[in-house]
Structure 1
Amino acid sequence: MTSTSSTQAQTGSVKAGTPASEFSHRLAQVAETVETFLVDRLGPEIGLGEIARPPRLMEAMRHAVLGGGKRLRPFLAIETARMLGGSEAAALAAGAGVELVHCYSLVHDDLPAMDDDDMRRGKPTVHKAYDEATAILVGDALQTLAFEIVADPTWQPDARIRADLVLGLARASGLGGMVGGQLLDLTAEGRFGAANMDVDDTLRMQAMKTGAILAFSVEAGAIVGGADAGQRAALLRYGLALGQAFQIADDILDREASPEAMGKATGKDKDAGKATLVDRLGLDGARAECDRLVGVCEDAVALWGEKARTLRDAARFTVARKT
């Protein structure tokens, strides 16, 4: 497994003050570090307190997690902690935990009972590559592994910080966050009776389903970095606005991007009757809202000046991305 010192060396190789033109390179560097960390966590070696690692389960977990994704969530945790002078190794572990929760949610979202998708990140979804029962167990295992990593003192020796991270991740991913948002998303499809979600309802659903985990990624970096109450409030404003912008940009891509570019089926949200701001505001209105939210993000981190360059670039990247 990757040691704490080598992890610090890997993340430390990404230097502060990176120009915006190099943002994609920086994102790719951090993604490679995250990938290495996740490969180590998903290996065949039996861990402390484990009885066995069933090969089929591990293979399917690696299928779900490795070799795809921009790793934006751990990137945000790492960059926020770096801006504040916190431990990048601790932020990497926290961000990896968030990423595993995100991956588990995708595995379950893709199931026939949910969104019924065949492709994810350019390859068959887990239930297509294996079977539905295995996919359910993969999601369960990824979720519990996420909390194991975040609670592990190997990367964060301070028990109070670990407790804050575990509590925050649970709240962001649970009934009042991601999972609750997923239920509201299904409600908007009319699965449980007639539904008519207005703009405020749609914003609430998206803030829970997508925004809560993205916002916590930033908050995790703030916790690791020792941010005070005022700084955490500013970073929470940034994270919430970023999460909303990400979801709107995703809805726009679902309408405009090709399945080949996205690595999954597109146009399904409209066919399923899902609630999106594109429906409520139109494409031009949705783009304008994305621009407004980027402005909110930039204002929120203004107090850090040049140190927040990467977070500002991340907000712009979120709305400008093509996949």
Structure 2
Amino acid sequence: MVQAKKQLTEPETPAIFDLNNYLKQQQIIVEQALDQSIAIARPEKIYEAMRYSLLAGGKRLRPILCLATCDLMGGTQAMAMPTACALEMIHTMSLIHDDLPAMDNDDFRRGKPTNHKVYGDDIAILAGDGLLAYAFEYVATQTNNVAPENIIRVVAALGHTVGAAGLVGGQVLDLESEGKLDITAETLSFIHTHKTGALLEASVVCGAILANAESEDIARLSRYAQNIGLAFQIIDDILDITATDEQLGKTAGKDLQAQKATYPSLWGLEKSRLKAQELVDSAIAELSNYGIQAEPLRAIANYIVTRDR
């Protein structure tokens, strides 16, 4: 009697998700979209300055999260791409302004001279302003096949994220906390959930809104994003101590020099790493309902605690 082949009676093991390949492919798609999003017009200098920082490279994690979440919730890349580009415009604005002498005063970003080093403080400020304003225009005018009320929800979410209740508020408290020795874990969490985490959360939530996701899915994905957002900043704090200038693409050790409040200064390196892993584990648990379709989001969560730049 001939024994039946195993593959006829046993289900196939799912292929291991290749995050590196996924990120590379998505980066190419995002880079092409960003390049097409802003053309040179008059006055040429401001458009050149905007494009200089927008197209300077980077992980493109925020637009990729937006695209991945929209796809998970049944949407398409086409409907999410304008918002994905807008998220990167807002993120780039925050980097341009963060690098200014009046803020963190850095000479390099993504391995290149910072915007104000190339164009001067005045044009750098205006380039950031231009990118921020255009981000909202781009979502409103370029988004197709999405219900108008959902486009409005995305615009409102982005406005909330970048304002005093989000990124700006976190930046203010971060500046006020420099040099202080009595910063609590609660204050540090507030800074980073607003300064860094808010835009990562918006990336995920906006992707879900564009796909017309149910409110319970948006809440679940929001918790996922809040966890990876805080984990991302904890790892950033660690890398500022342990990584090189070349790895980071910017000056390492800036937080220590500026006497910034960081997780390693509060908890030490090992406890900070453990906390980041706990947050990522909690984030992944929020995806349990979505099966293999959520593998990109799971893999990105794990990437956050294993990255070296």
TM-score tier, shorter chain, comes to over 0.9
Contact 2:80 2:143 in 1 (8 A): no
- Displacement after TM superposition at 1:148 (Å): 0.8
- Displacement after TM superposition at 1:158 (Å): 2.0
- The answer to whether 1:104 aligns with 2:89 is no
Matching of residues 161-310 of structure 1 within 5 Å: 161-190=150-179, 196-310=182-296
Tell me whether 85-94 or 276-285 shows the greater mean CA deviation: 85-94
Selected match of 2:27 from 31, 34, 43 = 31
Instruction: Give the gaps of 5 or more residues in structure 2.
Output: 1-13
Separation of aligned partners in 2, 1:113 and 1:57: 21
The amino acid of 1:151's aligned partner reads A
Contact 2:53 2:96 in 1 (8 A): yes
The amino acid of 2:270's aligned partner reads D
Contact 1:253 1:322 in 2 (8 A): yes
Q: List structure 1 segments (4+ residues) > 4 angstroms apart after TM superposition.
A: none
Separation of aligned partners in 1, 2:181 and 2:214: 41
Q: Kindly report the root-mean-square deviation, in angstroms, between the aligned alpha carbons of the 2 structures.
A: 1.4
Matching of residues 106-185 of structure 1 within 5 Å: 106-185=95-174
Task: Name the SS of the counterpart of 1:245 in structure 2.
Answer: helix
Alignment match, 2:79: 90
The amino acid of 1:159's aligned partner reads P
Alignment match, 1:6: none
Task: Name the SS of the counterpart of 1:53 in structure 2.
Answer: coil
Instruction: Give the gaps of 5 or more residues in structure 1.
Output: 1-16, 45-51
TM-score (norm. length: structure 2): 0.93
Contact 1:187 1:195 in 2 (8 A): no
- Displacement after TM superposition at 1:41 (Å): 1.3
- Displacement after TM superposition at 1:287 (Å): 0.3
TM-score (norm. length: structure 1): 0.89
Task: State percent identity of aligned pairs.
Answer: 41
Separation of aligned partners in 1, 2:206 and 2:264: 30
- Compare CA radii of gyration and give the structure with the larger one: 2
Separation of aligned partners in 2, 1:66 and 1:287: 31
Separation of aligned partners in 1, 2:142 and 2:119: 34
Alignment match, 2:9: none
The amino acid of 2:29's aligned partner reads T
How many residues in Structure 1 have an aligned counterpart in Structure 2?
296
- The answer to whether 1:40 aligns with 2:36 is yes
- Displacement after TM superposition at 1:108 (Å): 0.3
Contact 1:18 1:309 in 2 (8 A): no
